[in-house]
Chain A
Amino acid sequence: MRDTLSEIIEIDYHDLLEMAIQKKREGYRLSQACAAYVEGKPQLSYSFADDENYKYVTLRCKIEKDTEIISLSEVIPYASFYENEMRELFGINISLIEPDYKNKFYRIEQETPFVPADGNN
């Protein structure tokens, strides 16, 4: 990437919560979180920004479709918006989201998630 202050770190999903807490302690804020399907498997990206130095670190974990992820919302409350979105639109199995919108974060009539059975969105 041209943005030399931005990096992507591949991690095991078991380490996500611990590393997010570490980033928070280092003064980073959660900038975004999103899901994508790559080669049929979910891939989560949690990005953290250092506002003073413009550093941008994305924690990337690849998971299986039925893998259960523990929400970051207990340590980063506003992560709930991103995680509700990931679960609702991409079918990511995230538990303990607070507040939990129970797949009604987006008030749309179509059935969600939008990801087909083969995982190719």
Chain B
Amino acid sequence: MKKRSIVPYGPQHPVLPEPIHLDLVIEDEKIVEAIPSVGFIHRGLENLVQKRDFNQMAYVAERVCGICSFGHGFGYCEAIEDIMDIEVPDRAKYLRTIWFELSRMHSHFLWLGLLADGFGFENLFYQCWRIREKILDVLELTTGGRVIFSVNKVGGVMKDITPEMAGAILDMLASVKKELKAIAPTFTEDYAVKSRLVGVGVLTKQQAHDLGCAGPFARASGIATDMRKLGYAAYGDIDFDVITSNDGDSYARCYVRIREIFQSISIIEQAIEKLPEGELAAAVKGNPKGESFIRIEQPRGEAIYYVSANGSPHLDRMRVRTPTFANLAGLCETLKGADYADVGLLILTIDPCISCTER
């Protein structure tokens, strides 16, 4: 029997943007088992609902994560609007859709850059993050913020997109589309890149299902589920397909996310074309009483928001189940049998967001 050793990986590690710890049980250079530990940056944001008014919690919810901040604010507001039976104006629904997809784009570009850095293509990393800056510029133009936007509120949105801003978004999309077409082949066709991604960390469709995986990570294994198909915000009026791959390896995860960026471009173009006139927010009267489960598709996958309210300004409970939390079990499975040298890359392929996970 080969000698087994336990190698601690993280929480501080050059390849990890945020702290997570794995105890890796290895035989020679092969991973036999991975045991995760989280909680190094737990902030107790869910617990804050006892101390903040339910309207203020929209700002707190946004701060669950810096990358998918818009989605967290959106999911929380949707839950309160559901409990209070508030009908959000159509224009607000479309604006939310546009900002949500811009968020997805910049999140995926961030991930592509980190992946490029992970497999040693420094220049590709720079290119991805340079392109991402264009999206952040447009977000700053339309919301005033580059990471935390604070445009969601219970009942709708706080800012509008003028025709000039819409023009700037469309110009940016055309530019990003052109540049993504130029760099995408490096991810999908380059021999050296493929040697690091193809067949690495394979997760079958059955495994992804059995381990409760979500988002692009699950779709790369052939699970055709995307919460946007529930039709929240303006997604019910938008034409798009669920992007999947059947390979289930690291290459498939990269391929799915690249295609999702092109898809987001198409969704934003459609939303701008159909953007209706009207109010930005509905009036909110009284306090919420009741409970709601809301499912949305964050850049990293399905996120669940549970809100329980008692009729006072303070909620009983807010719970956020983030996609990274759902994908931890899948990550541990992909690591089994992997080379030690691939661990960093495999962690990246679930697009981990530890701040989200720790709330």
Contact = CB atoms under 8 A, between A and B. Distances in A.
Interface stretch (A10-18, A33-41, A63-71): A33-41
A108 interface: yes
A77 B294 contact: no
Contact of B326 (A6, A31, A105): A31
Contacts of B329: 77-78, 81
Interface residues of B, number: 39
B306 A45 contact: yes
B358 A106 contact: yes
A36 B316 contact: yes
Given A31-B326, A107-B40, A114-B47, A36 B293 contact: no
B238 interface: no
Contacts of A105: 37-39
Interface residues of A, number: 36
Nearest to A2: B82
A77 B210 CA distance: 9
A56 B295 contact: yes
A28 B229 CA distance: 18
Contact of B212 (A8, A78, A99, A121): A78
Contacts of A107: 37-40, 42
B141 to A, nearest CB: 32
A34 B225 contact: no
B304 interface: yes
B317 interface: yes
Contact of B82 (A1, A8, A45, A108): A1
B99 to A, nearest CB: 21
B212 A54 contact: no
Given A1-B293, A54-B225, A99 B230 contact: no
Contacts of B229: 54
A33 B304 CA distance: 10
A16 B302 CA distance: 24
B293 A106 contact: no
Nearest to A109: B42
Interface in A25-61: 27, 29-32, 34, 36-38, 45, 47, 49, 51-52, 54, 56, 58
Interface of A: 1-3, 5-6, 8, 27, 29-32, 34, 36-38, 45, 47, 49, 51-52, 54, 56, 58, 76-78, 81, 99, 101, 104-108, 114, 121
